């Protein structure tokens, strides 16, 4: 099966038109698009330059891409401005926007971005990465994208009286400028999805510092099922727990095809510890490790102590699946006690002895619980096994994993962009590292409070000199590759803007680091074995995605609200879906959007599972060992660890673009995607929380947490976004299957929309397939496996014969409940060459159960004869 997220429209050679009418004009203080004013009160120092007057393409840009961009160059251009005095940070109005709906993406944390809507330039949020305007006067859309100009990057900000302000900054007081010819790119189109594709293609050709997704190879894990250790263990992760975790999935009949060993495996230490052989101890929750620095490139003691073959032995070490939960619960107690103490300090309490005594008692209890966590899996007799004598550490562990779990294709491990959370310990390695103070960039002073930011500001960064960035990554990755690791999850990516003062600014520092990372990825991990995380800013996408082809599309999966709102366990999940779906509009041009892991036993696990089923990216969990809902998991995953994935990244439907599906109290999030032989729409009730600009945080809006109406029409699928499927948008009739209600409807393009009520934190998935007329009275359309959330993703091949013996041949991957629409009852049905019974009702439902045939990779061939 071809990997998903291939280019939805292949690059074709397009000839330039002889006469080009420019879409944009800047005159008399107005920026207009095809004669319609977009911005007025544009300052005199703002300039607009047509694309071809600025862009000087490099020779290494693929010619078909260059031709495609050239053919559409009249639809876009660059905004610039000239200041009187050079500075390292300049702000300038681009003009006033009022009474015009917009959709935008802004950074609500250093690392993460999300959507925001409004109708005035003053409604924008700080650190806006792009803004999309609705221009109904010409049935079009316009996007303004702040970009890189020289050593400066830019973002949009709100201005007074509706003005849209651009901020250009270098990140170093030593790097100043006053004139910018191309600090933002502006583009127009009559289709918002074409608009994103065209605009980012133009920027790619102009900057030539990144590549589009269609130019790159995607990681192997995009259409597979995996398990990540983070929420399962946090920092207590160790070999025996990982082993037992994977084994539980395998024994339940859902074999993980990839493993991510998250934070907790590295050799890190705190500054006060001068023993380079001594790793930090007693680490449990995220935060406790954030002041530590990398002091060796190999694994920490609990992994280093793993003895080859020990988990393959009949006397393999056992694992207490209750232990991680006990450790995490105790660590949370300590965290809460510390917060209570800090609150007392802020309120003026001076005698803290009671608080300190409690904290010390809890810490002692945690220490006793931790006991011998550093021992790893070195016990257990090897009698009767074939382990290699003297084989220890991560290499032995990955080898044993693959020996036991044959389907485990990939093993990834975690690391921060700078090595560890606070970088590399100076003097501990051969690298030139220096403790560099972290300085909060001015543009982030309105973002949400964040523990990671607090910690790096406190500890500073052990920054490897940019001249050694390539050596840093090759030192880490070449070792990992040698010990059986096939990829990395790189976190804390957008830290460089905090430490760029002495290194030529944020753009130049980022170029050095991203080049080193890209080169190492190409050398050590097949060019694609990397998941980027905490990276959602334009610096990364415009400078760091030349090689990287996958990244997180949203903030972390939060199983509860860290701020303490008891309803956060529900409303945070809807917020997560909004992050991922709207971010995919721009990120999906450059990377495969990764919707992150979740836990199958969470209160909203089914809600998450529905979104992952049609997101178009990898599906992975972070379940505690012993805590799984396998019935739910099997609605997502085939027994061989593959997933019935969609062909594209899921995107919001057109009627959601300028609405607020989080707290307007009425709008459902609808996302659309493609399967091979139809489309799919997910309707999600995400109401109940969102960004509060005054409080500068995401919080609950309980009045909005209520049932809402959701309307779905076959035209909500953007059929023309896939050339091979575009003809489906012209069908005369469709079947629509509602996955949760198990309801089948027949609609035409002129039919009224399906209207359903969706409860809070709930969803419905609509599989939409064109109906084929086979003969008079016989119409047919396959739905797929209704026991899977993405029913249509199970259809592998479809062939109709309408002459002679009329038939429909369907190849299906997976077992259990197959459903099709058939207006007439078939004469017979053959399964893998043999005639079988089936159920048919006069309402058109055609059903039968399919086996999972291991020898055929789970694929069954059905032939219905009429």
Q: What is the pLDDT of residue 804?
A: 86
String of DSSP letters for 486-532: -EEEEE-GGGGGGS-TTTT-HHHHHHHHHHHHHHHHHHHSTTT-EEE
**pLDDT-based confidence at residue 186 (cuts at 50, 70, 90):** very high
Mean pLDDT, residues 2-25: 55
Q: What is the pLDDT of residues 70-80, one digit of tens each?
A: 999 999 999 99
Report the length, in residues, of the chain: 866
Type and span of the H or E element at 767: strand 763-770
Nearest to 42 by CA among 113, 97, 115: 97
What is the C-alpha R_g of the chain?
28
Is residue 310's pLDDT more than 80? Answer: yes
Task: Provide the CB-side half-sphere exposure for 779 (13 A, CA).
Answer: 18
Residue 623 to residue 192: CA distance in whole angstroms:
38
What's the sign of the alpha-carbon dihedral 14, 17, 23, 26? positive
Q: What is the pLDDT of residue 382?
A: 45
Task: Provide the CB-side half-sphere exposure for 273 (13 A, CA).
Answer: 18
Q: What is the pLDDT of residues 316-327, one digit of tens each?
A: 999 999 999 999
Give whichever of 18-32, 383-397, 761-775 has the largest mean pLDDT: 761-775
178: how many CB neighbours lie within 10 A of its CB?
Answer: 13
661: how many CB neighbours lie within 10 A of its CB?
Answer: 25
Is residue 386's pLDDT more than 60? Answer: no
Residue 747 to residue 274: CA distance in whole angstroms:
71
Q: What is the pLDDT of residues 226-282, one digit of tens each?
A: 999 999 999 999 999 999 999 999 999 999 999 999 999 999 999 998 888 899 988
Measure CA of the first residue to CA of the last residue in the chain; give whole Å: 30
In the chain, the percentage of residues whose pLDDT exceeds 70 is 96
806: how many CB neighbours lie within 10 A of its CB?
Answer: 17
**pLDDT-based confidence at residue 286 (cuts at 50, 70, 90):** confident
Q: What is the pLDDT of residue 599?
A: 97
The DSSP code for 196 is H
Residue 389 to residue 192: CA distance in whole angstroms:
61
- Among 186-195, 286-295, 596-605, 789-798, which is the least confidently predicted range? 286-295
Nearest to 510 by CA among 157, 56, 169: 169
Q: What is the pLDDT of residue 562?
A: 82
Is residue 15's pLDDT more than 90? Answer: no
832: how many CB neighbours lie within 10 A of its CB?
Answer: 14
Is residue 811's pLDDT more than 90? Answer: yes
383: how many CB neighbours lie within 10 A of its CB?
Answer: 8
Mapping DSSP to helix (H, G, I), strand (E, B) and coil, where does residue 542 land? helix
Buried b / exposed e across 507-539, counting CB within 10 Å, b at 16+? bbbbbbbbbbbbbbbeebbbbbbbbbbbbbbbb
Is residue 636's pLDDT more than 70? Answer: yes
Q: What is the pLDDT of residue 374?
A: 52
818, β-bridge pairs: 785, 848
**Residue 389: partners with Cβ closer than 8 Å, 6 or more residues away:** none
Type and span of the H or E element at 294: strand 293-299
Q: What is the pLDDT of residue 9?
A: 42
Is residue 772's pLDDT more than 50? Answer: yes
- Among 55-59, 100-104, 634-638, 643-647, which is the least confidently predicted range? 55-59
Average pLDDT of every residue of the chain: 94
Type and span of the H or E element at 39: strand 36-39
Q: What is the pLDDT of residues 424-482, one digit of tens each?
A: 999 999 999 999 999 999 999 989 999 999 999 999 999 999 999 999 999 999 999 99
**pLDDT-based confidence at residue 370 (cuts at 50, 70, 90):** confident
Q: What is the pLDDT of residues 91-114, one digit of tens each?
A: 999 999 999 999 999 999 999 999
Q: What is the pLDDT of residues 696-735, one digit of tens each?
A: 999 999 999 999 999 999 999 999 999 999 999 999 999 9
Mean pLDDT, residues 538-555: 98
Nearest to 367 by CA among 334, 416, 325, 318: 334
Is residue 12's pLDDT more than 50? Answer: no
Q: How far is CA 577 from CA 560, 581, 651, 662, 690, in A?
A: 15, 6, 11, 10, 12
**Residue 27: partners with Cβ closer than 8 Å, 6 or more residues away:** none
Q: What is the pLDDT of residue 383?
A: 39
Q: What is the pLDDT of residue 387?
A: 45
String of DSSP letters for 784-813: EETTSSSGGGGEEEEEEE-SSS-EEEEEEE
Tokens representing residue 94 in the block: 């681009």
Residue 359 to residue 343: CA distance in whole angstroms:
14
Q: What is the pLDDT of residues 611-622, one digit of tens each?
A: 999 999 999 999
The DSSP code for 307 is B
Q: What is the pLDDT of residue 275?
A: 86
**pLDDT-based confidence at residue 16 (cuts at 50, 70, 90):** very low
Q: What is the pLDDT of residue 128?
A: 98
**pLDDT-based confidence at residue 20 (cuts at 50, 70, 90):** confident
Q: What is the pLDDT of residues 109-149, one digit of tens each?
A: 999 999 999 999 999 999 999 999 999 999 999 999 999 99
Laid out side by side, the sheet with 24-27 consists of 24-27, 30-33, 36-39
Tokens representing residue 630 in the block: 């396998």
- Among 273-282, 633-642, 758-767, which is the least confidently predicted range? 273-282
Q: How far is CA 161 from CA 99, 119, 122, in A?
A: 12, 12, 6
């Amino acid at each position: 099966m071809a990997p998903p997220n291939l280019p939805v429209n292949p690059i074709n050679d397009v000839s330039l038109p002889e006469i080009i009418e420019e879409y944009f004009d800047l005159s008399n203080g107005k920026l207009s698009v095809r004669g319609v004013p977009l911005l007025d009160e544009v300052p005199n120092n703002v300039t607009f330059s047509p694309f071809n007057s600025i862009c000087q393409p490099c020779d290494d840009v693929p010619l078909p891409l260059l031709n495609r961009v050239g053919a559409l160059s009249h639809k876009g251009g660059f905004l610039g401005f000239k200041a009187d005095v050079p500075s390292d940070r300049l702000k300038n109005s681009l003009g006033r926007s009022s009474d015009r709906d917009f959709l935008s993406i802004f950074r609500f944390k250093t690392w993460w971005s999300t959507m925001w809507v409004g109708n005035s330039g003053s409604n924008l949020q700080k650190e806006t990465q792009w803004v999309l305007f609705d221009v109904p006067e010409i049935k079009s859309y316009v996007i303004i994208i702040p970009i890189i100009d020289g050593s400066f990057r830019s973002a949009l900000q709100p201005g007074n009286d509706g003005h849209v302000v651009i901020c250009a900054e270098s990140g170093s007081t030593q790097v100043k400028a006053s004139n910018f010819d191309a600090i933002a790119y502006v583009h127009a189109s009559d289709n918002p999805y074409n608009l994103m594709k065209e605009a980012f293609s133009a920027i790619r050709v102009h900057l030539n510092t990144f590549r589009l997704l269609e130019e790159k190879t995607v990681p192997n894990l995009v259409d597979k099922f995996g398990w990540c250790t983070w929420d399962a263990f946090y920092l207590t992760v160790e070999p025996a727990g990982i082993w037992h975790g994977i084994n539980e999935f395998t024994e339940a009949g859902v074999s993980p095809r990839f493993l991510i060993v998250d934070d907790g495996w590295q050799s890190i230490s705190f500054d006060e510890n001068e023993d380079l052989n001594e790793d930090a101890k007693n680490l449990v929750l995220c935060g406790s490790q954030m002041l530590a620095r990398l002091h060796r490139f190999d694994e920490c003691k609990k992994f280093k102590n793993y003895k080859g073959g020990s988990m393959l032995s009949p006397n393999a070490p056992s694992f207490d699946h209750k232990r991680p939960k006990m450790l995490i619960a105790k660590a949370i107690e300590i965290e809460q006690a510390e917060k209570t103490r800090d609150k007392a300090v802020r309120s003026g309490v001076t005698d803290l002895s009671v608080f300190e005594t409690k904290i010390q008692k809890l810490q002692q209890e945690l220490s006793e619980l931790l006991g011998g966590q550093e021992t790893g899996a070195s016990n257990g007799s090897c009698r009767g096994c074939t382990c290699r004598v003297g084989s220890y550490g991560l290499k032995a562990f990955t080898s044993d994993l693959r020996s036991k779990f044959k389907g485990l294709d990939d093993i990834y491990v975690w690391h921060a962009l700078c090595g560890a959370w606070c970088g590399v310990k100076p003097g501990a390695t051969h690298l030139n590292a220096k403790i560099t103070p972290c300085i909060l960039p001015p543009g982030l002073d309105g973002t949400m409070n964040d523990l990671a930011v607090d910690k790096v500001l406190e500890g500073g960064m052990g920054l490897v000199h940019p001249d050694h960035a390539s050596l840093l990554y090759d030192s880490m990755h070449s070792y990992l590759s040698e010990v059986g690791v096939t990829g990395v999850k790189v976190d804390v990516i957008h830290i460089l803007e905090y430490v760029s003062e002495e290194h030529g600014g944020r753009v130049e520092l980022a170029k050095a680091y991203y080049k080193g990372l890209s080169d190492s990825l190409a050398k050590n991990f097949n060019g694609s074995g990397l998941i980027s995380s905490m990276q959602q800013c334009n610096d990364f996408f415009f400078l760091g995605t030349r090689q990287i082809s996958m990244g997180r599309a949203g903030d972390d999966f939060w199983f509860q609200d860290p701020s303490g709102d008891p309803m956060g366990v529900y409303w945070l999940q809807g917020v997560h879906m909004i992050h991922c779906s709207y971010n995919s509009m721009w990120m999906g041009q450059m990377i495969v959007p990764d919707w992150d892991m979740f836990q199958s036993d969470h209160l909203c696990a089914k809600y998450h599972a529905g979104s992952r089923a049609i997101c178009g990216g990898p599906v992975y969990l972070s379940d505690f060992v012993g805590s799984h809902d396998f019935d739910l998991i099997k609605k997502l995953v085939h027994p061989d660890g593959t997933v019935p994935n969609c062909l594209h990244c899921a995107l919001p439907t057109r009627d959601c673009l300028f609405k607020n599906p989080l707290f307007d109290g009425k709008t459902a999030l609808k996302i659309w995607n493609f399967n091979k032989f139809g489309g799919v729409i997910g309707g999600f009730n995400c109401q109940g929380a969102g960004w509060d600009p005054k409080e500068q945080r995401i919080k609950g809006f309980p009045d909005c947490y209520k049932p809402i109406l959701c309307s779905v029409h076959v035209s909500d699928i953007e059929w023309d976004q896939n050339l091979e499927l575009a003809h489906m948008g012209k069908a005369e009739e469709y079947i629509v299957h509602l996955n949760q209600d198990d309801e089948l409807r027949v609609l035409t393009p002129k039919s009224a929309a399906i209207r359903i009520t969706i409860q809070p934190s709930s969803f419905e998935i609509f599989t939409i397939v064109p109906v084929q007329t086979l003969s008079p009275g016989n119409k047919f359309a396959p739905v797929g496996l209704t026991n899977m959330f993405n029913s249509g993703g199970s259809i592998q091949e479809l062939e109709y014969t309408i002459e002679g013996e009329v038939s429909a041949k369907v190849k299906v991957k997976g077992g259990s409940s197959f459903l099709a629409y058939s207006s007439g009852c078939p004469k017979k049905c053959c399964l893998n060459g043999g005639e079988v019974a089936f159920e048919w009702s006069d309402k058109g439902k055609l059903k039968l159960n399919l086996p999972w045939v291991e020898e055929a990779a789970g694929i069954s061939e059905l032939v219905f004869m009429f």
